[in-house]
Amino acid sequence: MQKRKIFGTEVFLAFLSAKCVTIDSRENEREMNTVEGEGRNEERERLEKQIQFIVEADKVKNIFRQTYLADGRRKENDAEHSWHLALMAVLLKEHMNEDADVARVMIMVLIHDLVEIDAGDTYAYDEKGAQTKREREVKAAERIFGILPEDQGRYFRELWEEFEAYETPEAKFAHLLDNFQPILLNDASGGKSWVEHGVHKSQPMKRNERIPGTSDIIWEKMQEIFEKHVENGILKAD
């Protein structure tokens, strides 16, 4: 009888042990599923914010600049302008006085005008608009980049501020592209925007006064274009 009791106790204890293992296993599985579920929810929330930003950025296609397309048929929009600058970054890197991270420059020029969704485009020679430009654009940056997940929004905001500060080799290169592109389009379109706004040669000269430190050869090309259009009456002589 004693042996039976011992045997029965052993069986019972073994049964309990197995039950505990099963229960622990199920608990662990539930915990893992909970963690995975939370991770999936965070990933989905992140994706939704990214999609919201992507759709918001589409509005930049409706922000029209004062510069005409090369064929002069219509004015370009900010999306076209930004794409053009990204292409130029790849092509013109070899002409920079300082080495720059082209990938960083490309992202910088692709996002630099997104603030104009709220702030609107401020024409290069609009002195009155320039007085409130910074205030309008900072407010826009806070809203627009704030749509993104926190880390991506912070990265874009810092990159935009770097562009605005005009200090790093990448920011200098990006500004050169931002200034050179409308000069090329004005040259190709017969100075249509310059004529429309009665631009004087001194205005683009002053706007580009920092370009010689960024690229000697592009500065030479800019001056060549300005002189040509002073001679043909497109740019007003000072």
| Main-chain phi, psi angles of 120, to 5 degrees | 80, 165
Per-residue pLDDT tens digits of the chain, which is 238 residues long: 444 554 566 665 565 566 565 666 677 777 667 667 777 899 999 999 999 999 999 999 999 999 999 999 999 999 999 999 999 999 999 999 999 999 999 999 999 999 999 999 999 999 999 999 999 999 999 999 999 999 999 999 999 999 999 999 999 999 999 999 999 999 999 999 999 999 999 999 999 999 999 999 999 999 999 999 999 999 999 8
Report d(CA 63, CA 121) in Å as an integer: 7
Report d(CA 108, CA 112) in Å as an integer: 6
User: Would you list the domain boundaries of the chain?
Assistant: 1-62, 64-231
Tokens of residue 29, six digits:
């599985």
User: What does the DSSP assignment read for 59-119?
Assistant: GGGG-EEEEEPTTSSSEEEHHHHHHHHHHHHHHHGGG-SS---HHHHHHHHHHTTTTHHHH
Enter the CATH code of domain 64-231. Answer: 1.10.3210.10
- Provide CB contacts within 8 A for 83, sequence distance 6+: 110
Nearest to 132 by CA among 166, 207, 140: 140
